[in-house]
């Protein structure tokens, strides 16, 4: 009889936590007992798992007795405080926040790319930023074939990346505009409906945002490529779910569209959708709620030496968060 594991989800009632529960069930992860943890205000709620309702418990320092694997998705402050408690109790933590990502003692893992790094963990494994993970699903196979030097990228990030309140703000603004009523805003500094905001996360003194620097900093660790450079502009767009990224990549070796398509057509977790003549390319509308990322619009970059331009899209709640975390748990 195969072993069953006690799995805890911290932040179980949040958007990513709910997806984690669904992914565990869908992928038939060997869960013997599921422990759902959240703040005191969520205690008493129940969430479905494998045909049963599981009650949410309050997260405390003593919540992890008997837990084998703890999936965290409740923000950096919660991870900083409670992940060490989980490790002390004997659990392995997979953390979805940014808190441990740049810690040299914590592996930062995308299973299809550097899954072997899981073996190096000392109790905690970090899940990368959603935009970084989706981008690297297409960039890594190209890097292995041609040797990436640098990328220039722009992201088109869905409002669900900010949370449930951002989805509601977009819905209410669209309804207000179509009804000719005044627009109210609280989540974003500007109207998001029928608009795009070149502002994701807080600004640094360089003029970049924290989100924009994550692709360079995290990709260096995931790809084991300390000299990798990325200049990124992150943009919030009025899309409910799934992020898209426009990438211009420069490589060490000459590239061709034919070779690139061949490389990208046989990658686990990635689908090649690249037939512009028939209006076929990755769209957030169709990649939402699917596990695989999609790549298309592949062409020779006319401004970079050994350059390739492409477009990649993926569900940031799945490959960018919950799915990637469960895949790490599978490796554990």
> Per the CATH hierarchy, to which homologous superfamily does domain 5-127+322-331 belong?
NAD(P)-binding Rossmann-like Domain (3.40.50.720)
Helices (H) and strands (E) in the chain, counts: 9, 13
CATH topology for 132-316 is: Dihydrodipicolinate Reductase; domain 2 (3.30.360)
Which pLDDT score is estimated for 164?
Answer: 83
| Domain 5-127+322-331 shares a fold with domain 132-316 | no
Which pLDDT score is estimated for 171?
Answer: 98
10-residue block means of pLDDT along the chain (332 residues)? Answer: 90 94 98 97 95 97 97 95 98 97 98 98 97 98 98 97 92 98 97 98 98 98 98 98 98 98 97 98 97 98 97 96 98 95
Which residue in the block uniquely carries the two structure tokens 């990325």? 230
Q: Which pair of tokens denotes residue 59?
A: 């997260």
Q: Where are the domains of the chain?
A: 5-127+322-331, 132-316
Which residue in the block uniquely carries the two structure tokens 């405390």? 60
Which pLDDT score is estimated for 63?
Answer: 97
107 closest CA partner among 92, 87, 122, 85: 122
Which residues are catalytic, by number?
130, 243
Bridge-based pairing of strands 243-251 and 148-157 is antiparallel
98 closest CA partner among 122, 70, 131: 131
Which pLDDT score is estimated for 295?
Answer: 98
DSSP string for 28-68: T--EEEEEEEE-GGGTT-EEEETTEEEEEEE--TTTTTT-S
Classify 326 as helix, strand or coil.
helix
Q: Which helix (H) or strand (E) holds 104?
A: none
Per-residue pLDDT tens over the stretch 60-72: 999 999 999 999 9
Residue 166: alpha-carbon gap to chain centroid: 17
Q: How many whole angstroms separate alpha carbon 47 and alpha carbon 316?
A: 22
215 closest CA partner among 199, 232, 201, 203: 232
Which pLDDT score is estimated for 1?
Answer: 47
Q: Which helix (H) or strand (E) holds 134?
A: helix 130-146
């Amino acid at each position: 009889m195969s072993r069953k594991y006690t799995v805890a989800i911290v932040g179980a009632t949040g958007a990513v936590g709910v997806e984690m529960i669904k992914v565990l069930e869908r992928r038939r992860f060997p869960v013997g007992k599921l422990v759902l943890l959240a703040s005191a205000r969520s205690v008493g709620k129940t969430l479905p798992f494998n045909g049963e309702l599981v009650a949410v418990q309050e997260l405390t320092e003593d919540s992890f007795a008997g837990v084998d694997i703890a999936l965290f998705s409740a923000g950096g402050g919660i991870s900083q405080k409670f992940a060490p408690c989980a490790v002390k109790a004997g659990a392995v933590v997979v953390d979805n926040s940014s808190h441990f990502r740049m810690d040299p003692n914590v592996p930062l893992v995308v299973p299809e790319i550097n899954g072997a790094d899981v073996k190096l963990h000392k109790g905690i494994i970090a899940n990368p930023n959603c935009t970084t993970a989706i981008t690297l699903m297409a960039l890594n196979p190209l890097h292995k074939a041609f040797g990436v030097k640098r990328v220039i990228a722009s992201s088109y990030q869905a409002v669900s990346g900010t949370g449930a309140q951002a989805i509601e703000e977009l819905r209410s603004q669209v309804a207000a505009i179509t009804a000719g009523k005044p627009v109210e805003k609280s989540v974003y500094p500007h109207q998001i409906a029928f608009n795009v905001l070149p502002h994701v996360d807080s600004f640094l003194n360089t003029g970049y945002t924290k989100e924009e620097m994550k692709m360079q900093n995290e990709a260096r660790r995931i790809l084991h490529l300390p000299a990798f450079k990325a200049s990124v502009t992150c943009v919030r767009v009025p899309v409910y779910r799934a992020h898209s990224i426009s990438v211009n990549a420069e490589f060490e070796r000459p590239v061709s569209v034919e070779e690139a398509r061949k490389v990208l057509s046989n990658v686990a977790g990635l689908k090649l959708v690249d037939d512009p003549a028939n209006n076929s390319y990755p769209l957030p509308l169709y990649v939402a709620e699917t596990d695989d990322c999609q790549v298309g619009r592949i062409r020779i970059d006319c401004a970079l030496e050994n350059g390739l331009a492409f477009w990649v899209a993926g569900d940031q709640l799945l490959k960018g968060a919950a799915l990637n975390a469960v895949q790490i748990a599978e490796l554990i």
